């Protein structure tokens, strides 16, 4: 009897000693959301395929091969070849690398700018807040697509080398991406800074830097993760739109956006659907998957925002 009790206590204690950390709880709840898990699997698959897939392709050199112009899918070229005889599957995967990188990088940049400015505006209020938020408002009042078009046109006008365009597109996307984020972060900050534990932090005589980045930032992390995830989808879409119009990343560097450009051509649209369906489907699948996953994350991490 006593041994059974002993065992039970031991089991109880060991169970107790495992921390019911918030992250672990969240992960468990996320795993219960089948749709979000599905979204994550699709996104992960896309990343893996785009970054690892081309390594196994014999066509990565993008050699122009006039003998294989516009061939439909076959065993040799799973998704056919394009007008210059290049393998479409390989190009879609290589394009994915660029599109996903642009999406990720511009998300990281806009989350960095947006959260930093949002935190500062929300914490210090007053004149700092006014200046930052009026700039954000200004950027928000201009519809982002026309703004991006103007940027893109300027890039073409200034004859920016195509190699650099990818980085400049990232920068452009984060410039239009940060204001919304900063606004949300600032709102959260305004409420967080009034919480009792912040008063306690003031009473401890902590430096502002410590209060902002050790106390307040960790409270924002769930919100930031959710926004960041959803942002990637938006950035990929914007990049595609820009590239489709020839204002973003330009050929020969492939992106999903500039590959869909093939659909502009009536003959290609009707006769060679393997040119535009794969990149189109990739954008569709990736963005939908990211949004589903982001929504799942929001339900788990940010219960206040549940609709």
Partner 1 sequence: MNSILDIEHLRTHFKTDDGTVRAVDDVSFQVRQGEIVCIVGESGSGKSITAMSVMGLVEGPAGRVVGGNIRFDGEELLKLSRNELRTIRGNEIAMIFQEPMTSLNPVLKIGEQLMEPLIEHRKLNKKAARKRAIELINEVGISRAEQIADSYPHELSGGMLQRIMIAIAISCGPKLLIADEPTTALDVTIQAQILDMLRKFKEESNMSILLITHDLGVVAEMADYVVVMYAGKVVEEGEVVALFENPKHPYTQGLLKSKPIINQRQEELYSIPGQVPNPLELVPSCYFHERCAHCMEICKTTQPALKEVGNQQKVACWLYEEATANV
Place of tokens 């992106």: 255
Residue from 2, 3, 141, 196 in contact with partner 1 (CB under 8 A): 196
Q: State yes or no: residue 251 binds partner 1 (CB under 8 A).
A: no
Residue range at the interface with partner 1 (CB under 8 A); choices 172-180, 182-190, 217-225, 227-235: 217-225
Query: Is residue 209 at the binding interface for partner 1, with CB under 8 A as the rule?
Result: no
Cβ closest to partner 1, residue 197 vs residue 269: 197
According to CB under 8 A, which one of 44, 150, 171, 221 is a site residue for partner 1?
221
Decide: is 20 part of the binding site for partner 1 (CB under 8 A): yes
**Does 41 engage in binding with partner 1 (CB under 8 A)?**
no
Name the phi and psi angles at 185, rounded to 5: -60, -40
Nearer to partner 1 among residue 197 and residue 281 (C-beta)? 197
193 binds partner 1 (CB under 8 A): no
Instruction: Say if residues 257 and 248 touch (Cβ distance below 8 Å).
Output: yes
Nearest to 235 by CA among 154, 114, 132: 114
> 41 vs 204, which CB is nearer to partner 1?
204
Q: In the complex, what is the shortest distance from the CB of residue 129 to partner 1, in angstroms, rounded to a whole number?
A: 13
Residue choice 31, 64, 145, 202 for contact with partner 1 (CB under 8 A): 202
- Site stretch for partner 1 (CB under 8 A), options 65-73, 157-165, 200-208, 261-269: 200-208
Binding window for partner 1 (CB under 8 A); candidates: 41-49, 137-145, 218-226, 286-294: 218-226
Site for partner 1 contains 22 (CB under 8 A): yes
CB atoms under 10 Å from CB of 101, counted, come to 16
Cβ neighbors of 211 (< 8 A, separation 6 or more) are 123, 198, 201, 202
> What are the residues binding partner 1 (CB under 8 A)?
17, 19-22, 195-197, 199-207, 210, 214-215, 218-219, 221
């Amino acid at each position: 009897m006593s041994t059974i009790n002993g065992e039970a206590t031991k089991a109880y204690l060991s169970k107790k000693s495992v921390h019911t950390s918030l992250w672990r709880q969240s992960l468990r709840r996320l795993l219960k959301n089948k749709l979000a898990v599905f979204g994550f699997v699709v996104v992960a698959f896309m990343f893996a395929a785009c970054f690892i897939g081309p390594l196994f392709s014999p066509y990565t050199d993008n050699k122009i091969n006039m003998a294989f112009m516009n061939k439909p899918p076959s065993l040799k070229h799973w998704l056919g070849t394009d007008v210059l005889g290049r393998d479409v599957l390989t190009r879609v995967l290589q394009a994915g690398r660029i599109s996903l990188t642009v999406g990720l990088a511009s998300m990281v940049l806009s989350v960095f700018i947006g959260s930093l400015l949002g935190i500062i505006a929300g914490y210090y209020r007053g004149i700092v807040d006014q200046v930052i938020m009026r700039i954000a408002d200004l950027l928000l009042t201009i519809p982002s697509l026309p703004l991006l078009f103007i940027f893109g046109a300027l890039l073409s006008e200034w004859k920016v080398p195509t190699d650099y365009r990818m980085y400049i597109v990232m920068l452009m996307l984060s410039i239009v991406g940060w204001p919304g984020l900063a606004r949300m972060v600032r709102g959260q900050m305004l409420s967080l800074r009034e919480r009792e534990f912040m008063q306690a932090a003031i009473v401890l005589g902590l430096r502002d830097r410590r209060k902002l980045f050790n106390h307040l930032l960790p409270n924002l992390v769930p919100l930031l993760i959710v926004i960041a995830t959803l942002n990637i989808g938006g950035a990929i879409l914007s990049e595609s739109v820009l590239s489709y119009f020839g204002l973003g990343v330009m050929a020969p560097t492939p992106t999903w956006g500039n590959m869909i450009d093939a659909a502009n051509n009536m003959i290609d649209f009707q006769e060679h659907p393997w040119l535009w369906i794969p990149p189109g489907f990739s954008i569709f699948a990736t963005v939908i998957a990211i949004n589903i996953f982001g929504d799942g994350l929001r339900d788990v991490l940010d219960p206040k925002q549940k609709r």
